[in-house]
Amino acid sequence: MASLSKIEWTEATWNPVTGCTKISEGCRYCYAERLAKRLKAMGNPNYANGFEVTLQPHMLNAPMGWKKHKMIFVNSMSDLFHKDVPTSFIKKVFQVMFLADQHHYQVLTKRADRMAELAPKLPWPEHIWAGVTVENQEVADRIDRLREIPAKVRFLSLEPLLGPLPNLNLKGIDWVIVGGESGPGARPMREEWVRQIQTRCLAEGVPFFFKQWGGVNKKKAGRLLDGRTWDGMPLFGKKLAYA
């Protein structure tokens, strides 16, 4: 059975790797690290090592058994392109995604350099999407590396958005997700940062998904912008019109 997700822009998560290490400012209050510690305390065997990078080979074939179509966020509790994940294992993950083509897969990473280096060795059919997380201008170069990936859909997760992105270049980008940081210690996201990105997406016809305002109480802050939700996303390699 799929691990159903409450993340607004996906339907399920699949974690053939767990654990990670911090690489940039957006990692400071990592939700996955907090969750991994709780799961370890609860005795979940996949998190016996806590948040140390751990391969979970017994999870590799899980999507093969999920017959009904799912939008699947790959490694919500890790980063597939972490340096401690062997290239051979990454290839196995991609082979499963290639074969289990009844689903769409969202492969999201902060390690855009390694993804770009390995991309020529990996299959990129239209149901495997590639994305990078960009939290501020300091790591915006990840977007340039994403453009090198021969995926049919390339997307940006601008979450947690920690600063403005005034020079955001959407050339070759098919989808943009924006969200504020949430949980203990959450840093604020300014409305003008969101507006700037939204305006650019609308002008260039790139689907815009506003995930949340965030904060310590993200449910109270909600996810309305201009009195409505913004749930734009690509589908089967094509851009959806806004509702």
pLDDT digits (tens, 9 = 90+) for 61-105: 999 999 999 999 999 999 999 999 999 999 999 999 999 999 999
pLDDT per residue as tens digits for the range 107-148: 999 999 999 999 999 999 999 999 999 999 999 999 999 999
Q: What is the pTM of this model?
A: 0.95
* Sign, Cα dihedral of 215, 219, 223, 224: negative
Find the CATH number of the domain harbouring 17.
Answer: 3.20.20
Q: For residues 25 and 17, give the distance between their C-alpha atoms in angstroms, rounded to a whole number.
A: 22
Structural domain range at position 214: 3-239
Beta-carbon contacts of residue 112 (< 8 Å; ≥ 6 apart): 81, 132, 141, 142, 143, 145, 146
Which amino acid, residue 86?
P
C-alpha 157/C-alpha 208 separation (Å) is 11
Question: Quick one: pLDDT band at residue 238, thresholds 50, 70, 90?
Answer: very low
Number of domains making up the chain: 1
240 pLDDT higher than 70? no
**Could you tell me where the DSSP H helices lie in the chain?**
31-41, 87-99, 112-118, 141-146, 191-204, 218-221
Query: What pLDDT is recorded for position 239?
Result: 45
The residue-averaged pLDDT of 174-179 equals: 98
Q: What percentage of the chain exceeds 90 in pLDDT? A: 93
For residue 172, give every residue at least 6 positions away whose Cβ sits within 8 Å of its Cβ, in sequence order, or none.
Answer: 146, 147, 154
pLDDT range class, residue 38, cuts 50, 70, 90? very high
Residue 230 reports pLDDT greater than 90: yes
Residue type for position 218: K
Mean pLDDT of the chain: 95
Q: Is residue 3 scored above 80 in pLDDT?
A: no
**The pLDDT of residue 235 is above 90:** no
